[in-house]
Amino acid sequence: MYTLYYIAGAAVLISFFADRKKTIQGLKIGWKKFSKILGTYLKLLIILSFILLVSDQFIINYLGGQAPFIGLIMGLIIGSITMMPGFIAYPLAGILVSRGVNYMVVAAFITTLMLVGVATYPVEKEYLGIKATIWRNIAGFIISALIAVATGILYGEVLI
């Protein structure tokens, strides 16, 4: 990650020595855009801080012991609300499977985790608009449910 910082810093320095006026103007424009969205990102960080308080044990308790379709609904809901990066979500999926959670429920949880953004709603509505954000989240939720049911059928957890 530091390599990218060094490359960006070097690029700004090269640009500065090539044309100081344009570089300073570009940095001012970048700062204005950053400060414009800073409030939205701070809200998102506060929401994520509360979400990260949810431990993996909480998730396991609510996804593991129910009937398959109740677990499916819980997986869809918890995945929609929770937000975490893929490098944490996929090992968590392995932990859930090793603790006996159905593949269908894990698929519901992980796909909604990646496709539905309740926590990112404030940022999305700024860039996409309210209508597009709502439709994107609804579509992601439906697709996640279909993927989860298909996974349940393929693994024999749900009979047609």
Cα–Cα distance measured from residue 73 to residue 3, given in angstroms and rounded to the nearest whole number: 43
Cα–Cα distance measured from residue 21 to residue 146, given in angstroms and rounded to the nearest whole number: 54
Contact 111, 79 (CB under 8 A): yes
- Give me the amino acid identity at 14: I
Instruction: Give the pLDDT of residue 49.
Output: 64
DSSP type of residue 94:
H
DSSP type of residue 66:
S
Q: What is the pLDDT of residues 86-141, one digit of tens each?
A: 777 888 888 888 888 889 999 999 999 989 988 888 888 888 899 999 999 999 99
- Give me the amino acid identity at 18: A
Instruction: Give the pLDDT of residue 63.
Output: 72
Q: What is the pLDDT of residues 1-33, one digit of tens each?
A: 689 889 989 999 999 999 999 999 999 999 998
> Which residue did the predictor score with more confidence, 2 or 154?
154
Q: What is the pLDDT of residues 47-88, one digit of tens each?
A: 656 655 666 666 667 777 667 888 889 889 988 988 777 777
